[in-house]
Chains A and B, each alone.
Chain A
Amino acid sequence: MPQGTVHGLLGANGAGKTTAVRVLATLLRPDSGHARVVGFDVARQASEVRARIGLAGQNAAVDEILSGRQNLVMFGQLCHLPAGAARRRAGELLSQFALGEAAAKPVRQYSGGMRRRLDLAVSFIVAPRVLFLDEPTAGLDPRGRNEVWQMIRVLAAAGTTVLLTTQYLQEADQLAGAITVIAAGRVIAEGTPDELKTLAGGDRIDVTVREADDVAPAARLLRTRLGTDVRVDQEGRGLSVPATDRIAALTQVIGLLSEQNITAEDITVRRPTLDDAFLHLTGQQAPGHTAGAAEVIVP
């Protein structure tokens, strides 16, 4: 990974994202093989690696009894900042992460989002060469998510390389210059978001029908008449077909549906998303896909 870039690690639950991060952050010894971070072997030169990395894991790893400020000062001192610098840095981070008002309260009184922000603030105390973020925005509201994204961009611009695992493909799309997709512990694709989207094929037309009973007949209709593959989301009453010529395909779909008296609530033509790429690569719904999809299990 080139310095100062954001790299996304995508995969369904259980694909091995967290394990990969734990190995790279020296918490877990690899069963086999080697891993190097900033040129140092994670198993044999762990302390060299630790001096150059930051980590925010999936659960907020902060002291529940201490206040937010006490946590930041303590971790600052454990990063070997002088006491005064640790206090100053704690103050800066508390206001940047909108925790100023709660600074003196014990963390066990914080909401989930506040804990998450504090946890991230801890991993930002010193700018590491490589920052591992394991689902950094899980459980945050959209505003909190934007704040975190902004912080990640600033850190990357200052030269920190960020490895990000995420459930939200949109997040990877927003932040990552390069993405690795893993399934069952193996890398199945790598590339820029655009390259991965291209893998998923061209534009698509998404249709939402009004009646749930219409989903199956509509799918059959489009499949036979257009001669293409049709993706179905039964609970969301959605269908999705590929479109090589956007306007012609749109006209065709509208025509076919009205011919059969199937009422569509919504029809959109769109560029492929990372969700499509993920689906194409793994044959599974995207990990963060919640629109009525069953839980994703990668074999």
Chain B
Amino acid sequence: MTITLAPEIPRTFRSRVGWAIRDTWVITRRGLAHWRQQPGAVIVNTLVFPVMIVLMFGYLLGGAMTVPGGGDYRDFLMPGMFAMTMVFGIGATVTAVSTDAARGVTDRFRSLPMAAPAVIAGRAAADMLNSTAALTVLTGCGLAVGWHPHRGAARAIAALSLLLLLRFAFLWIGVYLGLRFHSSPEAVTAVRTLEFPAGFLGSPFVAVSTMPAWLGAIALWNPLSSTATAARQLFGDPMGANSSWITSHALTMSVAWPLLLTAVFFPLSLRRYQRLSR
């Protein structure tokens, strides 16, 4: 048997950063390799499901929907669908993170001389790439059902960036919950189930003004609603008449909410990772 010696650990700041970036990239590629190994699961989870919802709401239920303040329902629906898909990505994150932690893979990473943030940063990068692909497919699907941005490419790109920013924020909630509840599969299932009320209790499918006042208030303050409304504004889609403070500041809030969530959950996730123990 041959013996391979470990490279020296880096002493300078620059080489440390180099290692951290390489480590992150290795973990990202691991996430991408998972797609290649299980193309079926990826297609169903990230592509078929949102497309199905677009068709269901756009055609099956859409005929009965009217948007307060006027406008086409499918135009109202698409930005909401985009936002909901971003939030639903949390399920995949929680599952992947908790599976690694439960199987001891996370502990093995922790016993390696890796940069500590690389494991969760790599996870984040892979999930963001996944969600970017999902958003691309969904955009194509929207164009196919007659939706299109009305206010030019620059604003459309800004809207898509806001949507990915929302995904980025929910990613850290997912990492935190995955590390926090890895030892109980029931809790992971609960998180995946709670996606639905969390995703639907907002403005993705129906205008908030059609809800009872108390429910509308919750829906309005759902970060998903701010992003959906900001995207509608940037795409030039109907916004479903609402004059509340948070709706008129949708653009600001669609940046503020994700930054706030990231500021809370990123440090919590990192801490959980470093102190993970069973």
Contact = CB atoms under 8 A, between A and B. Distances in A.
A112 to B, nearest CB: 14
A84 to B, nearest CB: 12
Interface in B11-42: 19, 22-23, 26, 29-30, 33-34, 37-38
A57 interface: yes
B4 interface: yes
Q: Classify chain A's interface size.
A: 35 or more
Interface stretch (B106-114, B148-156, B197-205): B106-114
A51 B113 contact: yes
Given A48-B9, A74-B30, A89-B4, A79 B112 contact: yes
B114 A78 contact: yes
A173 to B, nearest CB: 23
A277 B34 CA distance: 49
A188 interface: no
Interface stretch (A7-15, A151-159, A205-213, A238-246): A151-159
Contact of B3 (A28, A53, A81, A158): A158
Nearest to B274: A46
Interface string A142-184: 0000000001001100100000000000000000000000000
Nearest to B112: A78
B22 A77 contact: yes
Interface in B85-117: 103-105, 107-114
B7 A80 contact: yes
A75 B112 CA distance: 9
A92 B108 CA distance: 21
Nearest to B116: A47
Interface stretch (A62-70, A256-264, A285-293): A62-70
Nearest to A160: B3
Nearest to A127: B3
A291 B151 CA distance: 79
Contacts of A48: 9
A252 interface: no
A22 B277 contact: yes
Contacts of A78: 23, 26, 109, 112, 114
A280 interface: no
B2 interface: yes
A126 B6 contact: yes
B26 A53 contact: no
A200 interface: no
B3 A65 contact: no
A50 B30 contact: no
Given A22-B277, A64-B103, A77-B26, A55 B7 contact: no
B60 interface: no
A264 to B, nearest CB: 46
A127 B4 CA distance: 6
B64 interface: no
A63 to B, nearest CB: 6
Contact of A27 (B5, B22, B107): B107
Contact of B107 (A53, A57, A155): A57
Q: Which of A59, A63, A74 has the most CB of B within 10 A?
A: A63
Contacts of A79: 6-7, 112-113
A96 B9 CA distance: 27
A32 to B, nearest CB: 16
B144 interface: no
B1 interface: yes
A298 B4 CA distance: 41
B3 A50 contact: no
Given A66-B37, A80-B19, A128-B6, A50 B105 contact: no
B34 A81 contact: no
Nearest to B109: A78
A158 to B, nearest CB: 5
Given A25-B111, A26-B110, A63 B104 contact: no
Contact of B9 (A47, A67, A122): A47
A65 B105 contact: no
Name the residue among B37, B103, B109, B113 with the largest chain A CB count within 10 angstroms. B113
Given A47-B9, A57-B107, A106 B113 contact: no
A1 interface: no
B103 A61 contact: yes
B105 A126 contact: no
A125 interface: yes
A85 interface: yes
A155 B3 contact: yes
Interface in A203-241: none
Contacts of B2: 92
A64 to B, nearest CB: 7
**Shortest Cβ-Cβ A-B pairs, 9 listed:** A61-B104, A51-B113, A126-B6, A61-B108, A51-B9, A55-B111, A50-B113, A127-B3, A154-B1
8 contacts: A29-B275, A48-B9, A51-B113, A55-B107, A64-B103, A80-B19, A80-B113, A127-B4
Interface of B: 1-7, 9, 19, 22-23, 26, 29-30, 33-34, 37-38, 103-105, 107-114, 275-277
Given A51-B9, A78-B109, A85-B4, 6 more contacts: A47-B9, A50-B110, A65-B34, A74-B29, A92-B2, A96-B1
